[in-house]
Structure 1
Amino acid sequence: MAESVPVRCPACLREHRYAAPAYPCVCGAPVAPRLDRHGVAAPVAHRVWQDDWVTVRCEACGRCGEWPRPEVGCSCGVLLRVPVVEATEPPAPLTPETATERGTAPARPPFHSVTIRTALDAVTATALYLRWLGYRGVRRADQRPPSGIGLAARGVVAQVDPADRPATLRDVECLWLTAMTESADCLYVSLAGYAEDARARADALGVPLFVLDLTGTPRPVNAPADALERGH
Structure 2
Amino acid sequence: MTERISVCCPACRREHLYTAPSFPCACGASVSPALDRHGTATAVTHDVRAEDWMSLRCAACGRRDEWPYPELGCPCGTVLRVPVTGGSAAAAGVTETEGPRQQRPRFPPVAIRTARDAVTAAALYLRWLGYRDIRRADQRPPSGVGLAARGLLAQVEPTVRPASLRDVECLWLTAMTESAGCVYFSLAGYAGDARARADDLGVPLFVLDLTGTAQPVNSLADELDGGTLR
Asked whether the two chains share a fold, i.e. TM above 0.5, the reply is: yes
Structure 2: gaps (5+ residues): 90-97
Give 1:174-189 correspondences, 5 Å limit.
174-189=170-185
Residue 196 of structure 1: which of 172, 192, 195 is its match? Answer: 192
Kept in 2: contact 1:9–1:41 (CA 8 A): no
Distance 1:71 1:184, change over 3 A: same
Distance 1:18 1:109, change over 3 A: same
Asked if residue 138 in structure 1 is aligned to residue 131 in structure 2, the reply is: no
The superposition leaves residues 118-166 of structure 1 with CA deviations (integer Å, 9 ceiling, x where unpaired) of: 3333223223323333231411441423x43333333221222234454
> Please, what TM-score do these two structures have when normalized by structure 2?
0.70
Q: Which moved more, 1:65-74 or 1:136-145?
A: 65-74
Aligned to 1:230: 226
Q: CA deviation at 1:46?
A: 5.4
Q: CA deviation at 1:226?
A: 1.9
Distance 1:208 1:143, change over 3 A: same
Separation in 2, partners of 1:228, 1:103: 16
Structure number with the higher helix fraction is 1
Kept in 2: contact 1:72–1:82 (CA 8 A): no
Separation in 2, partners of 1:15, 1:192: 30
Kept in 1: contact 2:25–2:58 (CA 8 A): no
Q: Which moved more, 1:78-87 or 1:191-200?
A: 78-87
RMSD value, Cα: 3.8
Q: CA deviation at 1:193?
A: 2.1
Match for 2:135: what amino acid? V
Give 1:31-180 correspondences, 5 Å limit.
31-35=31-35, 40-41=39-40, 43-44=42-43, 49-57=50-58, 59=60, 63-71=63-71, 79-84=80-85, 86-87=87-88, 104=100, 107-133=103-129, 134-145=131-142, 147-180=143-176
Q: CA deviation at 1:31?
A: 3.1
Aligned to 1:212: 208
Q: CA deviation at 1:53?
A: 2.9
Larger radius of gyration: 1
Q: Which moved more, 1:70-79 or 1:206-215?
A: 70-79
The superposition leaves residues 45-104 of structure 1 with CA deviations (integer Å, 9 ceiling, x where unpaired) of: 655544443414163x6544333434457899793532235349xxxxxxxxxxxxx994
State the number of aligned residues: 216
Aligned to 2:95: none
Distance 1:120 1:80, change over 3 A: closer
Q: Which moved more, 1:134-143 or 1:4-13?
A: 4-13
Q: CA deviation at 1:178?
A: 1.4
Separation in 1, partners of 2:201, 2:99: 21
Q: CA deviation at 1:219?
A: 1.0
Structure 1: gaps (5+ residues): 89-101
Distance 1:194 1:44, change over 3 A: closer
Kept in 2: contact 1:9–1:74 (CA 8 A): yes
Kept in 2: contact 1:73–1:80 (CA 8 A): no
> Please, what TM-score do these two structures have when normalized by structure 1?
0.70
Separation in 2, partners of 1:157, 1:203: 17
Segments of 4+ in structure 1 off by > 6 A?
Answer: 6-16, 73-78
Q: CA deviation at 1:10?
A: 9.0
Match for 1:33: what amino acid? P
Percentage of matched positions with identical amino acids: 59
Kept in 2: contact 1:189–1:210 (CA 8 A): yes
Structure number with the higher strand fraction is 2
